[in-house]
Amino acid sequence: MAFAATALDRFRSGAVSFGVWSLIPSPYTAEVMAAAGADFICLDQQHGLIDPAILPLMVSAVIAGGALPFVRVPSNDAAAIGRAFDHGALGVIVPMIENAGDARRAVAACRYPPEGTRSFGPVRAERVIGSADPVELSKVICIVMVETADGLRNVDEIAATPGLDGIFIGPADLAIALGLPPRGAPRPQALQDAMESIRISCAQHEIVVGTTASDGSRAREAADDGYRMITIGMDATLLDSALRAELAAAKG
């Protein structure tokens, strides 16, 4: 399908992509966020409420809205990664990667043998990608998360993993790993320094670096700092803050 090829090419072109985390298990919410102009939507199966039954419907809704569908899988599990792709995701974000072995396993789960370990059964992917050829189906995006003390220590070997498209920094877990609170702005200097070392490692290995921002203007700053894949918020928190503002205006 032309959409998949165009969206994957754009992501890999060096352009900055702004996205939203989706925690609410609703195809409609996902479509609204995609159609609002997000470049990608990350359907979060690690912390979000999105179960395997609704995932394919949400992937379709994201594509209908014109955005690139990513799935954050619950863990570095080859079955979960393969299923996300089989159901039409064009990228995965794999959390809590600690070392090169973890990263190699995540990348292998995204590709078919001989390069990888993925099992063939592209039940929806063949229509989303427009081909049942394993080579074409393997052109999906593999992003791993660095957000632990070991991940930070081993970031260079992780970033050097062949076939890896990028590293997404999880600032909340990374803050906890550094003995800092998971939330709050501005981010403490020690967290900023750790994030910068990961960003530099990604730049050296010519892979995408991504992270979260708490709003659009901080996402813009992250883009100016060299991040290429940035989330501007989450559906649940955006809904919460918009509702609180309107209710405060109404109630005075």
- Residues with a catalytic annotation lie at 47
Tell me how far, at minimum, the Cβ of 18 lies from ligand 3PY, in Å: 15
Tell me how far, at minimum, the Cβ of 14 lies from Mg ion, in Å: 26
Residues 149-208 that bind ligand 3PY (CB under 6 A): 170-173
Closest by Cα among 16, 107, 123 to 59:
123
The residue within the footprint of ligand 3PY, chosen from 43, 198, 212, 222 (CB under 6 A), is: 212
Closer to Mg ion by Cβ: residue 102 or 147: 147
Stretch of residues binding Mg ion (CB under 5 A), selected from 30-38, 108-116, 144-152, 182-190:
144-152
- The residue whose Cβ lies closest to Mg ion is 170
Tell me how far, at minimum, the Cβ of 123 lies from ligand 3PY, in Å: 28
Number of H helices, E strands in the chain: 13, 8
Closer to ligand 3PY by Cβ: residue 86 or 147: 147
Give 166's strand partners.
143, 208
Closer to ligand 3PY by Cβ: residue 132 or 153: 153
Beta-carbon contacts of 64 under 8 Å, excluding residues fewer than 6 positions away, are 31, 34, 35
Alpha-carbon distance of 28 to 16, in angstroms, equals: 25
Beta-carbon contacts of 184 under 8 Å, excluding residues fewer than 6 positions away, are none
Q: DSSP alpha helices (H): ranges in the chain?
A: 2-12, 27-35, 55-64, 78-86, 100-110, 125-129, 134-137, 149-153, 155-159, 171-177, 189-204, 216-224, 235-251
* Binding partner selected for residue 212 from ligand 3PY, Mg ion, none, CB under the kind-specific 5 to 8 Å limit: ligand 3PY
Residues 91-150 that bind ligand 3PY (CB under 6 A): 147
Q: Please state whether beta strands 68-72 and 141-146 pair in parallel, antiparallel, or not at all (unpaired).
A: unpaired
Residues 164-193 that bind Mg ion (CB under 5 A): 170, 173
Tell me how far, at minimum, the Cβ of 31 lies from Mg ion, in Å: 26
The residue within the footprint of Mg ion, chosen from 31, 102, 147, 235 (CB under 5 A), is: 147
Tell me how far, at minimum, the Cβ of 6 lies from ligand 3PY, in Å: 27
Alpha-carbon distance of 33 to 91, in angstroms, equals: 17
The residue type found at 208 is V
> Is residue 86 near Mg ion by the rule CB under 5 A?
no
* Binding partner selected for residue 98 from ligand 3PY, Mg ion, none, CB under the kind-specific 5 to 8 Å limit: none
Alpha-carbon distance of 219 to 17, in angstroms, equals: 10
Alpha-carbon distance of 169 to 213, in angstroms, equals: 11
Question: Which positions lie near ligand 3PY, rule CB under 6 A?
Answer: 147, 170-173, 212
